[in-house]
Structure 1
Amino acid sequence: MTACWRLIRPHQWLKNLMIFFPAFLSGSIVQPGVAQRGVLPMIAFCLGSSATYVFNDLLDAPRDRNHPRKSRRPIASGMVRPRSAVIFALLLVVGALGIALLVPGIFPVLLVSYLLISVCYSLKLKDVAIVDIFCIAAGFILRLEAGGGTLGVTISEWLFLTVFLLSVFLSTGKRLCEQRGLGEGAGFHRKSLDGYPPGFLDIAMAMTGAAVLVTYTMYSLSKAYLIYTVPLCTFGLFRYALRVKAGEGGDPTEALLKDFPLFVTGLLWVIMVASGIYR
């Protein structure tokens, strides 16, 4: 049971809170029934994303066994048999699709799109430089659009750009941390890393980080109460970049949960936004 729990990576479900962001930022999440409508989509994305993690681990198991950290994953370490993992992944997919069909509107299409992109990513696209980063970013955008469509909130252009660029920034940081940590053997563990020349990911991370600040600032100007969160977001971006350059890990979810300054920054952002909208 413990191995299966590790296999589905429940800590990564934090990403699926993106579904509630449009309603939270618009101030409508406290309206009767709004938050409740996001529960089923949230569960569906949790099951679907966990299924893609299992599928990805199945394909990566041979290489993961030679990785200093990933060798401890349930499939790579032999704690979970491949056949059991396949059955488990199929059950998760069936559960996700079954729940998605209960949600009206375009949500089932968005979830299926997410699953298809994730499968293509695991099969081939994760080995293609730049494309791998954009595939990860697409997952965040689909979550955002799913939240807007399900909860009846229009996604503004600046919010769309902010989420897209932030996801590219975080994904680039993750790849940079992997490239630096694995050294000359980086390409063996992840082929796409061989496609990034020295210094490219540093430049890409700096570019997208700066772009995030611009788009988020423009978004905050449309909502006066958000302008005071720009310095906080700047600190958060700098802190994440510092973690990456220091080799402390580039996984966004793990960074948020394990890095105390980042966790406090995120918590303060939620408090400040909530106080500005719902006071």
Structure 2
Amino acid sequence: MVSFSSSCQLLRPRQWLKNLMLFFPPFLGGVLLQSGMALRGLRPFAAFCLASSAIYILNDLCDRVNDGQHPKKRLRPLPSGRVSSRTASLLSVACVMGSALAAWGSSAVFLYYLVAYFVVSTAYSLFLKDIALVDIFCISAGFLFRLLAGGAVFGVAISEWLFLSVFLLSIFLSTGKRLGEKRHLGALAEQHRKVLVAYPKGFLEGAMYMTGGSVLVTYTLYALTRSSGLVLHTVPLCCFGLLRHMLRIQSGADGDPTESLTRDLPLFVVGLLWLAMVGWGIYGA
């Protein structure tokens, strides 16, 4: 019998934080607090959570041999043997069916982004993750599909500067994650994730610095388009958050953005301050 904790580990509920991206368009558009608006996003949010969990399980199935050689991932349910491949496969299928059920009745545009997310993520898990740069852009696409799906669900247009900010931020986070993996694994990098050796020395650092600076520029331009001056005042928070994340990675910490946000106190506090200031600037006026 598979334990409940092992099943939860396979689903990776902590990573569901990424699916809150669906609520960014109505939140930043100033309509999230309108009557019934937040409830409208619950089923789409559940659909993306279940779809992402199905992908995480698929990815674990594909990587179970390599994960067994990883200092941390070898303790996961599949490589440790606590969950069989058959059980994990059945759970993944159940998540796909649950996602389809949660998305039933949603708009055609939302379904398009959900399916696109699932297809790209599946291709990533199966073979695209082994192709340099393509792997990073696949991860980035997942964030963009969530953002655009949120705009479709709530009927909110995505501004050009917001789209570019999210795109560049996702590339920044993805390169940081790869850099963190490469540094942490060292000589074992190729055994765990062979694409890591395809990135020459200095490339990931340069890409992280380049996209980090670009995020700061595009977010500043996005903030300048807002009517609230308080939103512009969150630019220093953005700058601090980017630099703090880079400092953590260069100091040898895990590059996973969810881990960084939930386990690093300065980043967590900055995230809450950003949320409070943007929220007050949009809804408090």
TM-score, structure 2 normalization:
0.97
Q: Are 1:185 and 2:188 matched, yes or no? A: yes
Q: How does 1:71-150 map to 2 (within 5 A)?
A: 71-150=74-153
Distance 2:225 2:195 in 1: 39
* Counterpart residue identity of residue 270, structure 1: L
* Counterpart residue identity of residue 145, structure 1: L
Residue equivalent to 2:273: 268
Distance 1:47 1:102 in 2: 16
- Aligned-pair CA distance for 1:72: 0.5
Unpaired runs of at least 5, structure 2: none
Residue equivalent to 1:157: 160
Equivalent position to 1:226, from 228, 231, 240:
231
Distance 2:52 2:22 in 1: 13
Distance 1:88 1:159 in 2: 35
Q: Deviations over 1:113-152 (max 9, x none)?
A: 1111111001111011111000000000000000001001
Equivalent position to 1:278, from 268, 276, 283:
283
Q: Are 1:257 and 2:252 matched, yes or no? A: no
Residue equivalent to 2:241: 236
Residue equivalent to 1:207: 210
SS at match of 1:98: helix
Q: How does 1:166-185 map to 2 (within 5 A)?
A: 166-185=169-188
Distance 2:108 2:277 in 1: 32
Distance 1:136 1:100 in 2: 22
Residue equivalent to 1:57: 60
* Counterpart residue identity of residue 129, structure 2: K
- Aligned-pair CA distance for 1:97: 1.3
8 Å CA contact 1:97–1:108 kept in 2: the answer is no
Report how many aligned residue pairs link the two structures. Answer: 279
Distance 1:239 1:100 in 2: 37
Distance 1:69 1:104 in 2: 40
Q: Are 1:248 and 2:253 matched, yes or no? A: yes
Q: Are 1:29 and 2:32 matched, yes or no? A: yes
Q: Deviations over 1:85-122 (max 9, x none)?
A: 10100010011012112212311111111111111001
- Aligned-pair CA distance for 1:225: 2.9
Unpaired runs of at least 5, structure 1: none
* Counterpart residue identity of residue 5, structure 2: T
Residue equivalent to 1:46: 49
8 Å CA contact 1:225–1:273 kept in 2: the answer is yes
- Aligned-pair CA distance for 1:166: 0.2
Q: Deviations over 1:23-49 (max 9, x none)?
A: 001111011121111111100000000
* Identity across the alignment (%): 56
8 Å CA contact 1:105–1:150 kept in 2: the answer is no
Distance 1:98 1:274 in 2: 32
- Aligned-pair CA distance for 1:191: 1.3
SS at match of 1:28: coil
Give the ranges of 4+ consecutive aligned residues of structure 1 lying more than 6 Å apart after TM superposition: none
Distance 2:15 2:156 in 1: 25
* Counterpart residue identity of residue 276, structure 2: I
Distance 2:223 2:182 in 1: 34
Moved more, 153-162 or 29-38: 29-38
8 Å CA contact 1:105–1:149 kept in 2: the answer is no
Distance 2:121 2:54 in 1: 10
- Aligned-pair CA distance for 1:74: 0.4
